Structure 1
Amino acid sequence: MSAGSDSILDAFLYETNTLLEQLDSIVLAAEQQDSFSQEDINTIFRIMHTIKGSSAMMEYNSLMTIAHRAEDLFAIIRDKTMDVVPEELRPELFDLLFQTIDFFRQELEHIENEQPLTEDIDTLLQKVNRLIEQIRSGGQPAPAPAAAPEAAAAAAPSGPDGFPYDLQIYFDEGCGMENLRAYMLVSSVRELCAEEDFTYSPKGVDSDPSTAAQIAESGFLLSFRNQADRDKSIHAVTGSGSVRSYQAIDRPVPQPSAPPEPQASAPAPAAPAAPAAQAAPAAPAAPAAPQPAQPQKSEGGAHHKESLISVSLNKLDQLAAVVGEIVITESMVTSSPDLKGIKLDAFTKSARQLRKLTDELQDVSMSLRMVPVSGTFQKMNRIVRDMCKKLGKQVRLTLVGEDTEVDKTIVDSISDPIMHIVRNSMDHGIEENAEDRIAAGKDPVGEIILSARHTGSEVIIEIADDGQGVNYEAVLNKAIRNGLAQPDMEYSHRDILNFLMAPGFSTNTQVTEFSGRGVGMDVVKRNVEEVGGTVSISSEPGKGMTTTLKIPLTMAIMDGMEVSVGSSIFTIPIHNIRQSFRISDQDLIRDAAGGEMFKCMGNYYPVIRMRDLYRMDAGVTNIEDGILIWLDAGEHSYCLFVDELLGEQQVVVKPLPSYLNRFNIKSSGIAGCTILGDGNISIILDVSNLCAYAQ
């Protein structure tokens, strides 16, 4: 497949996925109201029309067929309002729309994975057709959406070109791919009138990408032989996405005997301007008449459109990599050993300015990758809705902090973990029936709260439910049966909750559609840790459970504290450091096994000596000669003993070579590396994995 075809496919997938997300949220909200507003109906019609046209252009016939029939369904509803749908058919309408959305998403997944599309669409198609017939028979009969009896009357050509009825169309500024959008319009018009009865300009919109710039600047012109075809085609224009405005223009038809021949062939674009406001008595011509008002309106929209652009994530990754190299190079230049002892005032001033600009460049490049978590959060509405129906539970989902922004890569990585946790809350957490909740003094409708908030360099996402909470005794017994716990040992509530994240662990005794296979929380833990985050669980029996995800804002550049052990330099993420101490040997407490503990604020924390952990030859051994760093890793806290703190530094995270994975190096507390200003390499510590050595 050529690069051009790849870009067209990417644009199709992106646009269709965006439309499906919009459609999902509309149907979810409408289902709660048990009705669609007229605006919702028009929007759904346009979405189906757009999917139909773009799918036809891409030759995805199954998508096109279903979208076309769904468009017909909403054409009936649009013409007759929501009253045409009897009350008893509305649940079926909502369910059918959700099935259609799922079908589209399944097909898009097939396309992304280069798998063949589903050919057998008869079942879904029959459901749509049956609902259309039920609506027609149950309510007032609705005519087919595109039927126009006057289409058979074709006017004889008049004038030199024979196509005097124009539609001048302007697309949203910055929408991109204007030539393909124009071609989709042409395809829609072909369905409404004969191909020989209309023409368009510029030509070649289906094969010549250069026409996109011409259309963006001057618009796209459709010309018709007769007014009836033009008026019908206005319906296709208003139903198409990304159309900013249109204008119906009736050009005067030149008579053979008319003397002012030059007027007919005079400047075509300028001459129609005057008749346009007068010659079109139909509604579409009226808004186009006041010339001063319309540009103002469209310009306002244009500025908003120009502020948004779709960029490939691969390009943003490349940008982040280049910015990272600039940061490293700048540090190497300003920290060059050749400059030691030399006083260079002009160089120092320039270096300060370079550092300022480099910091700004980092901030801008990182902000480009930041997206709100609202997209991921909104998808959970559908999960809760479907499970409520299948489990027979009443649950509402409350979203808090949807505008919180996180790196795009991290948002994609946490989508599945959040889904697993929400499903667990629905299946395990919320009580089986409303009577149990009422007996416990709770609202009969359960609640799941999905929230996000910033705390410095981290984002904290919490999924909390007000269900029955964790049965600690049942979890511990299951852990003992699975060999995860010893029957003669005492375990804290925190230890018992950690069993829930063990691979293969499930408290369900029966495998259901949603749980019981032992797959879920261990996947959550692994996925979150892969992006440098942590997972913790808290629960109070009878009151509910809360799962907390702590994840970094971005994975590319981080604030770190450089520490030394002997001649080796390590980097610790700043957000994991709580405090640092200089202590004496008397401040340490040693247990029978030789382990060291440090008491701080009434609690005891294990001490890890970096020199001993990595069996290094160099490094201080006397506790009074080094520094103790108090680290926080999710629900675990411990102290790390190093030689010296070298200072805070913003570092570029570099992944370790893939061949090191076979040595299981990540479990040794190493997350990656970074290049220092002098060209040396510093190991970045994985604080959450290091804590395993403190147990």
Structure 2
Amino acid sequence: MDNSGNESILDTYLYETNTLLEQLDSIVLAAEQADTFTESDVNEIFRIMHTIKGASAMMEYESLATVAHRIEDMFFIIREKSIDVVPDPDRALLFDMMFMAIDFFRGEVEKIQNGQLLSNDIDKLLGKINSLIAKIQGDADSSEHADASTPASVAAPAAPETTEAGFPYGLRVFFDEGVGMENLRAFMLVTELRSICGEENFTCSPEDVESNPATAETIVAQGFVLSFKKAVDRAGAIQVVSGSGSVRGYQAFDGPATAHEQEKESEPAAAAEKKSQPAARQSSATPPKPAQKTTTDKRAPAAADAPAAGQGMGNHPKESLISVNLSKLNQLMDVVGEIVITESMVTASPDLKGMKLDNFTKSARQLRKLTDELQDVSMSLRMVPVLATFQKMQRIVRDMGKKLGKKVRLTLVGEDTEVDKTIVDGIGDPLMHIVRNSMDHGIEETEEERIAAGKDPEGEIILSASHTGGEVIIQVKDDGQGVDYDKVLKKAIDAGLANPEIEYSRKEIINFLLMPGFSTNTEVTEFSGRGVGMDVVKKNVEEVGGTVVLTSEPGKGMTTTLKIPLTMAILDGMEVSVGSSIFTIPINNVRQSFKMSDSDIIHDAARGEMVKVMDNFYSVIRVKDAYGLDSGCDKIEDGILMWVESGECTYCLFVDELMGEQQVVVKPLPNYINTFNIKQHGITGCTILGDGNISVILDVSNLYSAVQ
């Protein structure tokens, strides 16, 4: 059997559920800050829960569907009566419960992604939800809502247990007290049952529930009675009732029937009712939303809600958006890269040298224009805003603030900045670690400390993103106590990372924080002190071609700057030659190139060769010497100096000659080469040139570190 269709449905479910949970997290965070839900918030949460409920039921993830359905119930009540029905003291409980539910959903979705079994232990969460619903409804007996194990069958008010002739199998249904519109809720049950067992196979009392609102009083007093011809239909109805919204419970009873009827129906009915009873016991305490059709029949799970998985994704019409697997975009970029390489090979073919081909040149220009456009379009498909990643940090600040007892606000700047999808995925963990660092180490422990320092009692972390040429600059800045340079240096000396005989600059001291295993915490806490320091940030950022820069002013805070390329697939590079070897330097790292003579070189005992450029002195690195090449220029006047920059690293590269700017496709190095840690020696990848030769792409920052 082909499972590709099922896998596609699962991928869609996972993608849309994760997207909805991100939206939900943002809504609840903003609402908590405002200490209330707006009308649009309530409607949006109701819609999100309905979509998750429907999609989860379709996929037969019962625990997710049950929790989503009960939260949907809660917001149905809030939507009908306004947020004012939630007393002010209970608002905090509502927000905490929503975050608890979001974490539950995320945990279960992660289990689905990893192929693990889902958790059925949802009683604690359901208890919190039901307790809040009871408070919202003003129910005096909240225990029957708060206990997820409450039986569905409840004692009926005094009423005759009779059925109509020919319909001996009765079912009396009781709705939640004070839920309202009991007649319409009864009509929804009737409509549901018509599609399952047929209108001719059951009757109801009162009958005119759709058109007569007065029947609501009768239903409140005596319940809503359903009578069936067959016991198996009643068993199916119990499943529907137990899965319907605002049902407090039910009571099955039998009227007079012929012995032949009882015997004929007893066997299938016994099995069906036995199956329905456990489901009913769970659902009575967690009755799903009243106004939506839901059935737990495994033959057609949540058929009415099946389209919900593909709906409700933002405000755009469905046909205007399409989700594409990232692997397909990667494949597209590979093909575009090969086209760029092939186009260069054709136009730079040695067979064409010395030939005057006007028409060919004209066509080649047009081809280059089209390949550039194709590249731009394919790259734009991969570009996504950093907004979703930034918003996740809001939750971290909120949760850590509560646990650490710190009042901190997170300010987002430039969250619409777009970056390659691969890079966005790569910076999520580093950003989380940096924000946690600011919360734990940066912001002062108490408001009194901040007030004494002349600061706002509420701390602030600013998370910003901006474009500069081919890079995106992401900064995490806090207004906390900053780095204690003496403490960091002492820790570095104790760890054997620093020499006590050497006087270090502040820049050198703060960079110890990026060393593996470095932590200033002496105690292991939930958030730090385990030796997993900022080196993890540095490593992850470098994996996506970026750099990390730390700056801090004691008493005023710390700033962590990430400089990351917009994309890693295709870049504009400057080709240079050293002897017979060709290297490519990313154009964003090149500031200037110039000729100089040997007399311009300054020989420093500590830093080697240096050159003065614009009133500053910069180290000179000879590429020939750095890589031990056999050929290449030795005299400065015979070659050319490239003034390069990456983050805080600025110096001059000495090469033989410039070969010109070229758009290149970045190819990863083979795995067996990577085992030699070659990236730490200034090589980030390679590219294929138009003539078929290989050019090594230099990593300006790592090359400087390796040589120095």
TM-score (norm 1): 0.79
Residues in 1 aligned to 2:130 and 2:571: alpha-carbon distance in whole angstroms: 56
Q: Cα 1:123–1:162, aligned 2, differ >3 Å: closer, same or farther?
A: closer
Aligned to 1:621: 634
Please state if 1:579 is matched with 2:595.
Answer: no
Please state if 1:547 is matched with 2:537.
Answer: no
Q: Cα 1:188–1:612, aligned 2, differ >3 Å: closer, same or farther?
A: farther
Please state if 1:79 is matched with 2:92.
Answer: no
Residues in 2 aligned to 1:363 and 1:663: alpha-carbon distance in whole angstroms: 34
Aligned to 1:418: 431
Aligned residue identity for 2:505: S
Using the TM superposition, give the Cα deviation of residue 623 of structure 1 relative to its aligned residue in structure 2, in angstroms.
1.1
Please state if 1:601 is matched with 2:606.
Answer: no
Residues in 2 aligned to 1:26 and 1:349: alpha-carbon distance in whole angstroms: 55
Residues in 2 aligned to 1:428 and 1:62: alpha-carbon distance in whole angstroms: 39
Please state if 1:51 is matched with 2:90.
Answer: no
Aligned to 1:463: 476
List per-residue Cα deviations over 1:478-518 (Å, max 9, x = no partner): 00001010111100000001000111111111111111112
Aligned residue identity for 1:584: S
Aligned to 1:371: 384
Residues in 2 aligned to 1:663 and 1:393: alpha-carbon distance in whole angstroms: 45
Residues in 2 aligned to 1:29 and 1:446: alpha-carbon distance in whole angstroms: 18
Q: Cα 1:4–1:370, aligned 2, differ >3 Å: closer, same or farther?
A: same
Q: Alpha carbon RMSD of aligned pairs, Å?
A: 2.9
Alignment of 1:405-484 (within 5 A): 405-484=418-497
The counterpart of 1:647, out of the listed 660, 664, 668, is 660
Using the TM superposition, give the Cα deviation of residue 394 of structure 1 relative to its aligned residue in structure 2, in angstroms.
1.1
Q: Cα 1:484–1:142, aligned 2, differ >3 Å: closer, same or farther?
A: farther
Aligned to 2:158: none
In the alignment, is the contact (CA less than 8 A) between 1:46 and 1:239 conserved in 2? Answer: no
Aligned to 1:224: none
Aligned to 2:280: none
List per-residue Cα deviations over 1:529-566 (Å, max 9, x = no partner): 11111000111111111000000000000010000001
Residues in 2 aligned to 1:415 and 1:142: alpha-carbon distance in whole angstroms: 46
Aligned to 2:670: 657
Aligned to 1:27: 28
State which drifts further: 392-401 or 65-74: 65-74
In the alignment, is the contact (CA less than 8 A) between 1:608 and 1:693 conserved in 2? Answer: no
In the alignment, is the contact (CA less than 8 A) between 1:565 and 1:619 conserved in 2? Answer: yes
Residues in 1 aligned to 2:355 and 2:532: alpha-carbon distance in whole angstroms: 62
Residues in 1 aligned to 2:546 and 2:244: alpha-carbon distance in whole angstroms: 55
Using the TM superposition, give the Cα deviation of residue 232 of structure 1 relative to its aligned residue in structure 2, in angstroms.
5.6
Aligned residue identity for 1:506: S
In the alignment, is the contact (CA less than 8 A) between 2:597 and 2:637 conserved in 1? Answer: yes
Aligned to 2:236: none
Aligned residue identity for 2:524: V
Aligned to 2:327: 314
Greater RCO (Cα-Cα under 8 Å, separation 6 or more): 2
The counterpart of 1:143, out of the listed 179, 191, 209, is 179
Using the TM superposition, give the Cα deviation of residue 444 of structure 1 relative to its aligned residue in structure 2, in angstroms.
1.0
Aligned to 1:672: 685
Aligned residue identity for 1:570: F
List per-residue Cα deviations over 1:211-240 (Å, max 9, x = no partner): xxxxxxxxxxxxxxxxxxxx9669998998
Using the TM superposition, give the Cα deviation of residue 130 of structure 1 relative to its aligned residue in structure 2, in angstroms.
2.3
Residues in 2 aligned to 1:127 and 1:364: alpha-carbon distance in whole angstroms: 49
Aligned to 1:400: 413
Residues in 2 aligned to 1:75 and 1:438: alpha-carbon distance in whole angstroms: 44
What SS does the aligned partner of 2:138 have? Answer: helix
What SS does the aligned partner of 1:599 have? Answer: strand
Please state if 1:331 is matched with 2:344.
Answer: yes
Residues in 1 aligned to 2:293 and 2:130: alpha-carbon distance in whole angstroms: 26
Aligned residue identity for 2:558: M
List per-residue Cα deviations over 1:567-610 (Å, max 9, x = no partner): 11000011111111211111112233782112223332221111
Aligned residue identity for 1:368: L
Q: Cα 1:554–1:189, aligned 2, differ >3 Å: closer, same or farther?
A: farther
Alignment of 1:6-17 (within 5 A): 6-17=7-18
What runs of 5+ residues in structure 1 fail to find an aligned partner?
164-186, 194-230, 246-300
In the alignment, is the contact (CA less than 8 A) between 1:630 and 1:639 conserved in 2? Answer: yes
Please state if 1:486 is matched with 2:499.
Answer: yes
Using the TM superposition, give the Cα deviation of residue 189 of structure 1 relative to its aligned residue in structure 2, in angstroms.
12
Please state if 1:524 is matched with 2:561.
Answer: no
Residues in 2 aligned to 1:336 and 1:630: alpha-carbon distance in whole angstroms: 31
Alignment of 1:138-177 (within 5 A): 142-143=178-179, 148-151=185-188
Using the TM superposition, give the Cα deviation of residue 154 of structure 1 relative to its aligned residue in structure 2, in angstroms.
7.5
Residues in 1 aligned to 2:191 and 2:394: alpha-carbon distance in whole angstroms: 51
Q: Cα 1:156–1:480, aligned 2, differ >3 Å: closer, same or farther?
A: closer
Aligned residue identity for 1:148: R
Residues in 1 aligned to 2:305 and 2:336: alpha-carbon distance in whole angstroms: 44
Residues in 1 aligned to 2:487 and 2:342: alpha-carbon distance in whole angstroms: 57
Q: Cα 1:568–1:153, aligned 2, differ >3 Å: closer, same or farther?
A: closer
State which drifts further: 579-588 or 471-480: 579-588
Residues in 1 aligned to 2:532 and 2:665: alpha-carbon distance in whole angstroms: 34
List per-residue Cα deviations over 1:164-202 (Å, max 9, x = no partner): xxxxxxxxxxxxxxxxxxxxxxx9999669xxxxxxxxx
Using the TM superposition, give the Cα deviation of residue 626 of structure 1 relative to its aligned residue in structure 2, in angstroms.
0.5
Alignment of 1:676-691 (within 5 A): 676-691=689-704
In the alignment, is the contact (CA less than 8 A) between 2:52 and 2:309 conserved in 1? Answer: no
Residues in 2 aligned to 1:482 and 1:335: alpha-carbon distance in whole angstroms: 55
What SS does the aligned partner of 1:678 have? Answer: coil
Q: Cα 1:354–1:568, aligned 2, differ >3 Å: closer, same or farther?
A: same
The counterpart of 1:556, out of the listed 561, 569, 573, is 569
Aligned to 2:113: 112
| Matched length | 578
Residues in 1 aligned to 2:379 and 2:311: alpha-carbon distance in whole angstroms: 32
What SS does the aligned partner of 2:518 have? Answer: coil
Residues in 2 aligned to 1:662 and 1:458: alpha-carbon distance in whole angstroms: 28
Q: Cα 1:360–1:441, aligned 2, differ >3 Å: closer, same or farther?
A: same
Aligned to 1:383: 396
List per-residue Cα deviations over 1:382-439 (Å, max 9, x = no partner): 1111111111111111111011110000000001111111111111111111111111
State which drifts further: 510-519 or 313-322: 510-519
Aligned to 2:644: 631
Q: Cα 1:602–1:232, aligned 2, differ >3 Å: closer, same or farther?
A: closer
What SS does the aligned partner of 2:602 have? Answer: strand
Residues in 1 aligned to 2:617 and 2:346: alpha-carbon distance in whole angstroms: 44
Residues in 2 aligned to 1:35 and 1:561: alpha-carbon distance in whole angstroms: 56
Alignment of 1:260-279 (within 5 A): none
What SS does the aligned partner of 1:500 have? Answer: helix
In the alignment, is the contact (CA less than 8 A) between 1:49 and 1:239 conserved in 2? Answer: no
Using the TM superposition, give the Cα deviation of residue 71 of structure 1 relative to its aligned residue in structure 2, in angstroms.
1.6
What runs of 5+ residues in structure 2 fail to find an aligned partner?
141-175, 201-238, 246-289, 295-301
In the alignment, is the contact (CA less than 8 A) between 2:667 and 2:687 conserved in 1? Answer: yes
Q: Cα 1:155–1:463, aligned 2, differ >3 Å: closer, same or farther?
A: closer
In the alignment, is the contact (CA less than 8 A) between 1:76 and 1:142 conserved in 2? Answer: no
What SS does the aligned partner of 2:56 have? Answer: helix
Aligned to 1:209: none
Q: Cα 1:495–1:84, aligned 2, differ >3 Å: closer, same or farther?
A: same
Residues in 2 aligned to 1:407 and 1:93: alpha-carbon distance in whole angstroms: 37
Aligned to 2:96: 95
Aligned residue identity for 1:125: L
